[in-house]
Amino acid sequence: MTGLAAVLSAPADAAGQDQRRRRRLAFGLLAALVLGVGAGLATGSGGFSLAALWADLHGPDAELLIGQIRAPRTLGALLVGALLGLSGAIAQGLFRNPLADPYLLGCAAGAGLGVVIVLAAAALGGAAISLATVAWIERIGLVAAAFVGALVGVSLTLMLARGAAHTLRLLLGGVVVGVMLGAVSDLITVASPDALRGKQAFMLGSTSFLGWPALALLATGLALLLAMVRRFARALDALTLGEDSAASLGLDLARVRLALVLMLSLGTGLAVAQAGLVAFVGLVAPHLVRRAAPGAHGWLLVASAGMGAALLLGADVLSRALIAPEELPVGVVTAVLGGLYLVWLLKQRTAT
């Protein structure tokens, strides 16, 4: 009887342990977000400094420095990271591949092409392309072009794959569209070299131009996506069992995949349009959640959004503080950190 009781209690103990791990991760992410926001507010042109933050809060330029520059940038990094983490979890669940990232379906190449077209058109119109011009004069045009380009890229992928019925066709279609749109973008920059500088700034990623209007758009999109994707969490759980098993459970695979692709495109398009191409956040965030506290997709999706927010917050603080008063592109920081994590993960897998 004692052995039987131990066998029966084992699943309950395992479930309780998993729940405790998820609870610990949730509290850890919340603490990381609070600390990250505080660090972002304390990081200015002189690097990270709590004393400087105190002085700025009580100085005459507090509204400008904190309210209009650091606060929207810090909160914007949080929201962009959350969108990328959530989109990465959707992509990995959709393709049943832990190496899937939000840029697989051609949205990154489409966004880059949209930006290049706007910059080339401005150059042909006689405008001098510089980082300041890109930042302040053409910001709205670049954001709109990047978002539309991202949606066009995904639409072309869906057309090439003949819908969302087959994940392999979707994946191959995304690769083909990404290569083709990237080639068109390169041809335009060859014809209009002035557009290359702005394209490079966009491709490296930056949170330095995020303002309160952009935050309102990002927050609305994130809230909408979280509400929608929670309805498809059980469908993602079913997809992990395989297509045949999911279909036997009564799942309309084509409709579910199309809905997931649209949500993935919306989240990625919003993030890319506002902050450029930030690498590895969407790929690494779901990995870290699964390693720390695995669970069903209802938990994984929300936790991945929190993990992505914490990662991009940390990377944004590092990008501002490492070589202050100069800044590193945040996409470079995330690429280095993400690459180091994947190398460490590969060594762990090889050792076992």
Indicate whether 164 pLDDT > 80: no
Choice between 100 and 226, residue whose per-residue pLDDT is larger: 226
Tell me what percent of the residues of the chain surpass a pLDDT of 90.
27
Q: How far is CA 183 from CA 106, 112, 177, 188, 279, in A?
A: 13, 11, 10, 9, 20
Residues 6+ apart with CB under 8 A from 131: 197, 198, 201
| Nearest to 146, CA basis, from 72, 210, 203 | 203
Q: Which of 223-227, 249-253, 342-346 has the highest mean pLDDT?
A: 223-227
CATH of domain 18-351: 1.10.3470.10
Could you tell me where the DSSP H helices lie in the chain? 2-41, 50-57, 62, 71-95, 107-124, 131-132, 139-160, 167-191, 194-204, 212-231, 233-239, 243-248, 253-275, 281-292, 297-321, 330-351
Please write the tens of the pLDDT for every residue from 98-137: 888 888 888 888 888 888 888 777 766 554 444 444 444 4
Question: 271: closest CA among 196, 221, 329?
Answer: 221
pLDDT of the residue at 94: 87
- Cα(303)–Cα(287) distance, integer angstroms: 11
CA distance 48 to 321: 6
CA distance 164 to 174: 12
Give how far Cα 351 sits from Cα of 255, 345, 348, Å.
41, 10, 5
Instruction: Give Cβ neighbours of residue 292 (< 8 Å, ≥ 6 apart).
Output: 21, 25
Q: How confident is the model at residue 13, as a pLDDT?
A: 65
Q: In whole angstroms, how far apart are CA 316 and each of 40, 126, 174?
A: 8, 34, 29
Residues 6+ positions from 171 with CB-CB distance below 8 Å: 95, 104
**Whole-number pLDDT of residue 277:** 87
> Residue 7: its pLDDT value, please?
44
Whether residue 300 is predicted with pLDDT greater than 90 in this model: the reply is yes
Cα 15 to the center of its chain, rounded Å: 30
* 34 contact partners, CB below 8 Å, separation of at least 6: none
| Higher-pLDDT residue of 352, 265 | 265
**80 is written with which tokens?**
């962009």
Closest residue by Cα to residue 272 from 140, 78, 80, 74: 80
Structure tokens at 130: 């510089």
What is the predicted pLDDT for the residue at 304? 95
Averaged pLDDT, 269-295: 89
CA distance 29 to 24: 9
At residue 4, the pLDDT reads: 45
Q: Which of 110-119, 199-208, 245-254, 256-265 is predicted most confidently?
A: 256-265
Cα–Cα dist 210/219, whole Å = 13
Let me know: does 286 contact 90? Beta carbons within 8 Å. Answer: no
**CA–CA separation, 150 and 261 (whole Å):** 12
Structure tokens at 58: 């009580």
pLDDT at site 283? 92
What are the domain boundaries of the chain? 18-351
Mean pLDDT of the chain: 83
Per residue in 18-74, pLDDT (tens digit) is 788 999 999 999 999 999 999 999 888 788 888 777 877 777 877 888 888 889 999
Q: Which residue has the tokens 């949606």?
A: 151
Going by pLDDT thresholds of 50, 70 and 90, the confidence category of residue 192 is confident
pLDDT of 3 strictly over 60 = no
Q: What is the pLDDT of residue 127?
A: 47
Q: How confident is the model at residue 83 (pLDDT cuts 50, 70, 90)?
A: very high
What's the CA gap between 101 and 144, in Å, rounded? Answer: 23
DSSP state of 127: P
Q: How confident is the model at residue 310 (pLDDT cuts 50, 70, 90)?
A: very high
Find out whether 297 and 233 touch, Cβ atoms under 8 Å: yes
Give mean pLDDT, residues 220-224. 93
